[in-house]
């Protein structure tokens, strides 16, 4: 049984980790930390977790107070925080799964897109980029994992078959994606107020959203040449889910919607958490599951490839994928403790 700490356990991502890990047969949560919520019990914040974590308290986080004998640390801290604590965490744990953004990009790209220099560039080489469906061998070869962002997971998995198979041009890609409000986190902000978010859809981060760099990095690796993406995120009045609609220019002749669907089904054949489907997937179909649903189309009238992908931003977009990566690090079956069945209605 691997002993794990959840660092930053009081946010939505941390709570989702606790929910999923409660049923994991090979990982035991022995420590949960928080900042402003330190001292509260898990059930004070999340009564739904009571059956598994009754009496467990959020501890103040410090690397000096980490439990002895940890095999694994899930780090769910705001960007900029993981890099400050990474060195002692790595010394204390065999494996770190960072769900934040700190170890996803090379140092130069991080500085460009996050507007500040990386504080631990010497540690970047110890982290793999943790999108298992595309980089499984690399994940197994590294001690630590940088978990992908939720928007990048949806966009990259939507577009990877096109670029890997040479079916689409790597430039001129457009990604429009809609996320539920939980993607903003649990903090009390004006944008998160019911009266602000309800009956409202808004775009943000136009032309310079930080996840653009992550999409381009992974898609370039898949394509074997530089990929270029225009990304526009939106927030919609729903709790969970991301729906990504991606547009690309064809690089091959004779394309059809039926043929593209066959290509996608072949590309993701054997992947336990990715399904290429005939109908456009709704976000609701992925709620609570570590599932990504995707469907491609070719429009012969305009010569455009359209791909629609859906996932739960808190599961396949964050905590579920983190457990999927931890399973790989621990040499466990990748599906251990995870489900591909969504909750309906």
Q: Mean pLDDT across the stretch 287-302?
A: 98
Task: Considering the candidates 45, 150, 160, 242, report the single residue annotated as catalytic.
Answer: 150
Q: What is each CA distance from 257 to 182, 254, 278, 295, in whole angstroms? A: 33, 10, 9, 9
Q: Mean pLDDT across the stretch 193-203?
A: 84
pLDDT in tens, 53-91: 999 999 998 877 787 889 999 999 988 889 998 898 999
Q: What is the pLDDT confidence band of residue 302, given thresholds at 50, 70 and 90?
A: very high
Lowest mean pLDDT among 2-6, 77-81, 103-107, 292-296: 77-81
Looking at the chain, the domain(s) classified CATH 3.30.360.10 span 151-313
Superfamily of domain 151-313: Dihydrodipicolinate Reductase; domain 2 (3.30.360.10)
Q: What is the model's pLDDT at position 15?
A: 95
Q: What is the model's pLDDT at position 199?
A: 84
Q: Write down the mean pLDDT value for the chain.
A: 94
Region label for 224, one of left (φ > 0), alpha (ψ between -120 and 50) or beta (otherwise): left
150 is catalytic: yes
- Sequence length of the chain is 345
Q: Mean pLDDT across the stretch 150-155?
A: 98
Q: Mean pLDDT across the stretch 224-247?
A: 97
pLDDT at 137 over 80: yes
Looking at the chain, the domain(s) classified CATH 3.40.50.720 span 2-148+316-329
pLDDT at 294 over 90: yes
Q: What is the pLDDT confidence band of residue 160, given thresholds at 50, 70 and 90?
A: very high
pLDDT at 182 over 90: no
Per CATH, domain 2-148+316-329 is 3.40.50.720: yes
Lowest mean pLDDT among 90-94, 97-101, 160-164: 90-94
Q: What is the pLDDT confidence band of residue 192, given thresholds at 50, 70 and 90?
A: confident
Three-state SS across the chain? CEEEEEECCCCHHHHHHHHHHCCCCCEEEEEEEECCCCCCEHHHHCHHHHHHHCCCECEECCHHHCCCCCCEEEECCCCCCHHHHHHHHHHHCCEEEECCCCCCCCHHHHHHHHCCCCCCHHHHHHEEECCHHHHHHHHHHCCEEECCCHHHHHHHHHHHHHHHCCCECCCCEEEEEEECHHHHCCCCCHHHCHHHHCCCCEECCCCCCCHHHHHHHHHHHHHCCCCCEEEEEEECCCCCCEEEEEEECECCCCCCHHHHHHHHHHHCCCCCCEEECCCCCCHHHHCCCCCEEEEEEEECCCCEEEEEEEECCCHHHHHHHHHHHHHHHCCCCCCCCCCCCCCCC
Q: What is the model's pLDDT at position 54?
A: 94
Q: Mean pLDDT across the stretch 230-253?
A: 96
Q: Mean pLDDT across the stretch 221-249?
A: 97
Q: Mean pLDDT across the stretch 187-197?
A: 77
Can you read off the two tokens belonging to residue 44? 């004070």
pLDDT at 189 over 90: no
């Amino acid at each position: 049984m691997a002993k794990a700490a959840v660092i930053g356990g009081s946010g939505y991502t941390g709570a989702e980790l606790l929910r999923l890990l409660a049923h994991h047969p090979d990982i035991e949560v022995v420590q949960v930390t928080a900042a402003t919520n330190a001292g509260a019990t898990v059930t004070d914040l999340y009564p739904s977790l009571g059956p598994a974590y009754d009496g467990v308290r959020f501890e103040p986080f410090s690397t000096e107070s980490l439990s002895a004998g940890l095999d694994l640390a899930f780090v769910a801290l705001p960007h900029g925080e993981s890099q400050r604590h990474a060195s002692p965490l790595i010394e204390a744990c065999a494996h770190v799964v960072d769900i934040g953004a700190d170890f996803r990009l090379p140092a130069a790209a991080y500085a460009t897109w996050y507007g500040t220099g990386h504080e631990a560039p010497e540690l970047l080489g110890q982290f793999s980029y943790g999108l298992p469906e595309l980089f499984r061998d690399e994940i197994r070869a590294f001690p630590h994992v940088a978990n992908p962002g939720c928007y990048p997971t949806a966009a990259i998995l939507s577009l990877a078959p096109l670029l890997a198979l040479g079916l689409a041009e790597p430039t001129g890609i457009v990604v429009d994606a809609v996320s539920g409000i939980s993607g903003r986190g649990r903090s009390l902000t004006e944008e998160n107020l019911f009266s602000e978010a309800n009956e409202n859809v808004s775009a943000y981060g136009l032309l310079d959203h930080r996840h653009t760099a992550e999409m381009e990095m992974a898609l370039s690796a898949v394509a074997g040449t530089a990929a270029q993406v225009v990304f526009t995120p939106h927030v919609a009045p729903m709790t969970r889910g991301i729906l990504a609609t991606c547009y690309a220019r064809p690089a091959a002749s004779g394309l059809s919607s039926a043929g593209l669907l066959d290509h996608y089904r072949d590309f993701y054949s054997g992947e336990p958490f990715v399904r290429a489907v005939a109908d456009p997937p709704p976000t609701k179909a992925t709620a609570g599951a570590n599932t990504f649903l995707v469907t491609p189309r070719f429009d012969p009238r305009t010569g455009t490839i359209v791909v629609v992908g859906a996932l739960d931003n808190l599961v396949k977009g964050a905590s579920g994928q983190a457990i999927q990566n931890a399973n790989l690090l621990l040499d466990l079956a990748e599906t251990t403790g995870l489900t591909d069945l969504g909750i309906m209605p």
